[in-house]
Amino acid sequence: MIIASIDIAQYDCPIVRITEDIDNIKVVVLAANNSLIKEGVEKIYIKMSSDDTNMLFNAIKKINAYGMVKNLNVLGRTEKEAKLLMYIKKTRAMEATVDLDAMPLAPWVASNGYEKWILGFHNKKLLNDYLSIVKEQDIIKNILVKEVPEELIAKISLGYIPITSFIEKTYTLTDRQIDVLELSVSKGYYDWPRKSNTIELSKELGVSRVAVTKLLRKAEGVILKESISLVKQLRKLEKKDKKEVML
């Protein structure tokens, strides 16, 4: 399967437009129902967030006034985020996604006038056809393409919950811990034999050797613990899945 990460500026999409019209607004498309797309309509659930309460309120009013939005309902709201159900006019990019049987692999995130789509295609021709259609009207800022075995995609789907837990836990690493780990890897601290030591790392970072050791131990502890847990859970789920298939 061909996986494409695409940053699209859709000029016919109210979600992209609101992030362009109002600063510091972020929108995540939680779900999209395209059953009415042949009638020119998309049904989408979104989460809109901002650190500014007034800005969030203004964004809801503004997006509801767009001609591209046929109907909007606020499903829930706090000071910093709101969940909305919207019926919008179909976009060219979404219609191409449906027509070419592209598979959405993650929620779409919009900010600063662009929306990031993660799509799966059966082959490169379908991807190229999709890009040709989208580029006729919209702008593609960035695109990252990788061919991924279907078996790996299946494993990711099977282990979705353990993977999200891994990301949640390892994301707690501080910037300083990440910096130390990155430097340690680049300087060969984890090579065999080692090409650097904590004394050399501490000199480069301008901190004590004890501080480097402490940062590394804490970061390594989190990564190792969560990595082992993730691998064990994935293997357990895979074995269970194979057993159920055999039955």
pLDDT in tens, 180-206: 999 999 999 999 999 999 999 999 999
pLDDT in tens, 37-71: 999 999 999 999 999 999 999 999 999 999 999 99
For 57, other C-beta atoms within 10 Å of its C-beta total 14
pLDDT in tens, 103-133: 988 888 998 889 999 999 999 999 999 999 9
pTM: 0.75
> What is the per-residue DSSP string for 135-165?
HTTSEEEEEEEEE--HHHHHHHHHTHHHHHH
Look over the chain and give the mean of its residue pLDDT values, rounded to a whole number: 91
Report the b/e string of 160-195 with b at 16+ CB within 10 A: eebbeebeeebeebeeebeebbebbeebebeeeeee
